[in-house]
Structure 1
Amino acid sequence: MVLYRNNDALMCKIFATTLQVEVQDWFHTLPPRSIWSFDDFSLIFTKEYSSYRSIKKKFNHSFNVKKNPKESLRDYVKRFKAKKVKIVGCDDLIASATFQKRLLADHPLFGELIMKKYLTLADSFSLTEKHALWDEARLTNKAPKQPKKESTVA
């Protein structure tokens, strides 16, 4: 492509030959004479296909996921799993350690997780689910009860 930098028509044709089946079909649906330069073609191609590309993160991206004080354990796990999926070659030992370290230190789950050796990420999630159920039951019991409406008899 570098050799033909000055010939836009040739660059477009050469680039088009490198496209895969679906993208090749897209290329052939472009209206005739709709592209006047390779820069136009690059812009149209980028607009069409850049949104389909998933940007993969590195393992240290999981260090950014921290449980918020008002966030439920279930929501934290859901958010952590969503971030983990986007990490290329995420090692479960690193993910498990990161998950544990980013919990709030004053939660009983934090102490239980760091005291146990060799917990897999699945084990951590399972233990977190038990604590989430316990937290929900505790919050339900603490919820103020609605006062009964007294019927007025006149």
Structure 2
Amino acid sequence: MMLTGGSDVVYCKLLMSTLADVTLEWFVILPDGHVTTFDQFTTLFREQYLVNRAPTRLSYDVFDIKQYQGESLKEFLNRFKIQVVRLKPTDEAMKVHAFVKGMLSGPFSESLLRFYLKTFTEIRHRALAHIAAHDRVTEKHVPVGPIRPRATDRPQPMRVHEMTTEKKGAGKPNMVPIT
């Protein structure tokens, strides 16, 4: 339409054909003659549905990214990288500080506090080395051989307490002394 041209009336009618549900109901209840140009219609539409738009994210929102309890360093690093791409913070020191601040306390976060890194790329390289080392260590702690299964057909031993209580009370009637 934009390339071949068209009138505002045609634009409005074609746009109306793309509306559905509540949006179509809103369009239908507009008073006749209320909308005279397509620009006016787009302004009304934006005002009506502006609240449905996602809030504008700012670069310092990167400080809201926190590592969840039980989340691995690898998962947090990946989630942080995705948010950095979306938020587009330009200050490298801000990214570094936000990452360190968002991490849970642990060996890696303590090492970052000891050796101040200047760029997020340096943090990423150090984190990947830490993750690889952690994976190698946990790999060594996995049992090498199969675990021996328990025998299931073994008879259960009889308890001593059960044997003595059966013999004591067997066959004796309860007697009450007469006074």
Q: Give the TM-score normalised by structure 2.
A: 0.52
Over residues 57-111 of structure 1, what are the superposed CA-to-partner deviations in whole Å (9 max), with x where a residue is unaligned? 2233111111123111111011101111222444111011110122222x22112
- Give the 5 Å matches for 1:1-154: 27=11, 29-30=14-15, 37-38=34-35, 42-43=44-45, 56-105=56-105, 107-143=106-142, 146-148=146-148
For the pair shown, the structure with the greater C-alpha radius of gyration is 2
In structure 2, C-alpha distance between the alignment counterparts of 1:101 and 1:124, rounded to whole Å: 13
The CA deviation at 1:30 is: 3.0
Residues 122 and 88 of structure 1, relative CA distance in 2, 3 Å threshold = closer
Partner SS for 1:68: coil
Over residues 97-144 of structure 1, what are the superposed CA-to-partner deviations in whole Å (9 max), with x where a residue is unaligned? 110122222x22112212223421100011001111122223333345
Write the letter of the residue equivalent to 2:121.
Answer: A
In structure 2, C-alpha distance between the alignment counterparts of 1:27 and 1:82, rounded to whole Å: 38
Give the number of aligned pairs. Answer: 128
Write the letter of the residue equivalent to 1:62.
Answer: V
Equivalent pair of 1:63/1:98 in contact (CA under 8 Å):
yes
Write the letter of the residue equivalent to 1:82.
Answer: I
In structure 2, C-alpha distance between the alignment counterparts of 1:31 and 1:104, rounded to whole Å: 51
More helix by percentage? 1
- The root-mean-square deviation of aligned C-alpha atoms, in Å, is 4.1
Equivalent pair of 2:63/2:102 in contact (CA under 8 Å):
yes
Unmatched segments (≥5 aa) in structure 1: 1-20
Write the letter of the residue equivalent to 1:117.
Answer: Y
Unmatched segments (≥5 aa) in structure 2: 18-27, 151-179
% identity of equivalent residues: 16
Write the letter of the residue equivalent to 1:119.
Answer: K
In structure 2, C-alpha distance between the alignment counterparts of 1:69 and 1:80, rounded to whole Å: 15
Equivalent pair of 1:100/1:113 in contact (CA under 8 Å):
yes
